[in-house]
Structure 1
Amino acid sequence: MEDSEPAGLMDAVTEFGRHLRGERDVSPHTLRAYQGDLRDLCGYAARVGVTTPDGLDVGLLRAWLAHQHASGRSRATLARRTAAVRAFTAHLYRRGILPRDPGPLLGTPKRHRDLPVVLAQDEAARLLDRMDATGPVGLRDRAVLEVLYGTGVRVGELCGLDIDDVDMGRGTVRVMGKGGRERTVPVGGPAAEAVRDWLRAGRPELATGRSGPALFLGARGGRLHPTSARRIVHARIAEVGEVPDLGPHGLRHSAATHLLEGGADLRSVQEILGHASLQSTQIYTHVSPERLRQVHRQAHPRGTE
Structure 2
Amino acid sequence: MNQLAPLPSPASSPALPALIAAADDDTRRRFLEFFAVTIRNPHTRRAYARAAGDFLAWCEARGVASLAGVQPLHVAAWVEALGRELAAPSVKQQLAGVRHLFDWLVTGHIVPVNPAGSVRGPAHSQRRGKTPVLAPDEARRLLDSIDVTTHAGLRDRALIGLMVYSFARIGAALSMRVEDVFVQNRRLWVRLHEKGGKRHEMPCHHNLEHYLVEYIDGCGLREDRKGPLFRTIARGTKRLSDTPLPQANAFAMVRRRAAAAEIGTAIGNHSFRATGITTYLKNGGTLETAATMANHSSTRTTQLYDRRPDDVTLDEVERVLI
TM bin, normalised by shorter chain, reads 0.7 to 0.9
Q: Cα offset for 1:162? A: 0.9
Structure 1 residue corresponding to 2:206, chosen from 185, 189, 192: 189
Q: Cα offset for 1:265? A: 4.2
String of CA shifts for 1:167-200, please: whole Å, max 9, x gaps: 2335431112334433223421110111112222
Q: Cα offset for 1:235? A: 3.2
Q: Which residue pairs with 2:271 in the alignment?
A: 250
Tell me the secondary structure at the aligned position of residue 150 of structure 1. Answer: helix
Q: Which residue pairs with 1:45 in the alignment?
A: 59
Residues 13, 276 of structure 1: alpha-carbon distance in 2 compared, 3 angstrom cutoff: farther
Alpha-carbon distance between aligned partners in 2 of 1:20 and 1:279, rounded to the nearest angstrom: 30
Q: Which residue pairs with 1:82 in the alignment?
A: 95
Tell me the secondary structure at the aligned position of residue 193 of structure 1. Answer: helix
Structure 2 residue corresponding to 1:107, chosen from 120, 130, 146: 120
Tell me the secondary structure at the aligned position of residue 192 of structure 2. Answer: strand
Residues 35, 263 of structure 1: alpha-carbon distance in 2 compared, 3 angstrom cutoff: same
Alpha-carbon distance between aligned partners in 2 of 1:121 and 1:13, rounded to the nearest angstrom: 52
Alpha-carbon distance between aligned partners in 2 of 1:163 and 1:252, rounded to the nearest angstrom: 21
Q: Cα offset for 1:25? A: 0.9
Q: TM-score, normalised by structure 2?
A: 0.72
In structure 2, give the amino acid aligned to 1:187.
C
The structure where helix makes up a greater share of residues is 1
Q: Cα offset for 1:83? A: 0.9
- Seq. identity, %: 25
State whether residues 17 and 31 of structure 1, in contact with CA within 8 Å, keep that contact through their aligned partners in structure 2.
no
Q: Structure 1: state its 5+ residue gaps.
A: 2-7, 294-305
Structure 2 residue corresponding to 1:166, chosen from 181, 191, 197: 181
State whether residues 203 and 217 of structure 1, in contact with CA within 8 Å, keep that contact through their aligned partners in structure 2.
no
Alpha-carbon distance between aligned partners in 2 of 1:292 and 1:182, rounded to the nearest angstrom: 36
Alpha-carbon distance between aligned partners in 1 of 2:47 and 2:263, rounded to the nearest angstrom: 36
Aligned residues: 282
Alpha-carbon distance between aligned partners in 2 of 1:263 and 1:94, rounded to the nearest angstrom: 51
Tell me the secondary structure at the aligned position of residue 210 of structure 2. Answer: helix
Q: Cα offset for 1:89? A: 2.2
String of CA shifts for 1:28-74, please: whole Å, max 9, x gaps: x322322222223223333555333333332332233234345x343
State whether residues 121 and 258 of structure 1, in contact with CA within 8 Å, keep that contact through their aligned partners in structure 2.
yes
Tell me the secondary structure at the aligned position of residue 277 of structure 2. Answer: helix
Residues 165, 76 of structure 1: alpha-carbon distance in 2 compared, 3 angstrom cutoff: same
In structure 2, give the amino acid aligned to 1:213.
G
Give the alignment's Cα RMSD to 1 decimal: 3.5
Alpha-carbon distance between aligned partners in 2 of 1:13 and 1:42, rounded to the nearest angstrom: 13
Residues 103, 266 of structure 1: alpha-carbon distance in 2 compared, 3 angstrom cutoff: farther
State whether residues 13 and 38 of structure 1, in contact with CA within 8 Å, keep that contact through their aligned partners in structure 2.
no
Q: Which residue pairs with 1:261 in the alignment?
A: 282
Q: TM-score, normalised by structure 1?
A: 0.76
Tell me the secondary structure at the aligned position of residue 270 of structure 2. Answer: helix
Structure 2 residue corresponding to 1:217, chosen from 205, 227, 231: 231
In structure 2, give the amino acid aligned to 1:194.
Y
In structure 1, give the amino acid aligned to 2:70.
L
String of CA shifts for 1:67-112, please: whole Å, max 9, x gaps: 4345x34323321221112212222232234444444422121347
State whether residues 34 and 104 of structure 2, in contact with CA within 8 Å, keep that contact through their aligned partners in structure 1.
no
